[in-house]
Amino acid sequence: MIITLTPRTSARFAGSALPEDCQEPALQHLLIPRVASWSMYPTLCKGDRLELGPAEPLHVGDLVVFRRPFGLVCHRLVARQEQVLLTKGDASSGTPEPVLFKDVLGIVVAVVRGSTRVVTADLDTLPPPPPWCRIVDHLNVTILDHSRRGAHRLIRLALQNSWLGGFLARRMVRWATIERVRASPVQSLHEALMPNPTASPSHQDGRPDPSVILGIRLGPIRLGTFHQSAERLDIRPVLAGTRLEFTLREALRHR
């Protein structure tokens, strides 16, 4: 169950958008995690807001929130083996998933559904969502997924064409914007979300700073990132192997 983070300002962004150094303080002090799937149904429902507490002490049956490469997950702790935890979604019939203790951000101490807040010991008293919510949500996700896959196929076909792909790639590179992002550890959430574009990209001795990367965007769409020190372009999978990747590499090499 992936969790999105909902600030009290009502803006939303994925938990994975936060640097790891900021995820724990943000979850515990600044933001309220919001459930984004049905993998913990019927205990938790999509849209529930979670209040977190410290990860110690941990007991079998606790709802733990932990990091994954794609974001944050909340599952139930079913067993513990020293520094390895076994977790599982209540709606899952598969085998438990191993999680390292160092990846755990906290445990759920209370759940807010609509205007009702209850502690985890009283989750049975939460009013269930209407039965049609899961059906409508599943249809929306299915339709969106099929639409996204169709759009990705069309984009790849267009960008892989020798003439049309080259034409589109040159135009996209011309309109793309580059922003400097400093990936070094930060001292505050504000510094993580508001990188300084005027910061010097070099060490004091003049050598390139390996922590500086360039974010490449086409309007609001992120195309990828370019690591200056390694001269490595990480492009979105749908664009990999297309004329756009080749054109971007050439433009960045001569930048």
CATH number reported for the structural domain that contains residue 37 in this entry: 2.10.109.10
- Write down which residue in 132, 166, 188 finishes a domain: 132
Q: Are residues 14 and 109 in the same domain?
A: yes
Q: Are residues 29 and 122 in the same domain?
A: yes
Q: Are residues 184 and 84 in the same domain?
A: no
Q: Which of 253, 244, 181 is nearest to 218 (CA)?
A: 244
- Write down which residue in 74, 102, 132 finishes a domain: 132
pTM for the predicted model, two decimal places:
0.51
* Boundaries of domain holding 218: 149-253
Residue 231 has pLDDT above 70, yes or no: yes
- The region of weakest confidence among 94-108, 167-181, 202-216 is 202-216
Would you place residue 190 in the very low, low, confident or very high pLDDT band (cuts 50, 70, 90)?
very low
Residue 169 has pLDDT above 70, yes or no: yes
Asked whether 15 and 50 are in contact (CB, 8 A), the reply is no
Q: Are residues 117 and 211 in the same domain?
A: no
pLDDT tens per residue, range 10-47: 344 445 555 555 655 555 544 567 888 888 888 888 88
Q: Are residues 48 and 88 in the same domain?
A: yes
Tokens representing 203 are: 């060490």
Phi and psi angles of residue 121, each rounded to the nearest 5 degrees, phi first: -65, -20
- Write down which residue in 132, 165, 198 finishes a domain: 132
pLDDT tens per residue, range 238-250: 888 899 988 988 8
d(C-alpha 232, C-alpha 252), whole Å? 10
Domain annotation covers residue 144: no
Residue 60 has a pLDDT of 92
Q: Are residues 74 and 155 in the same domain?
A: no
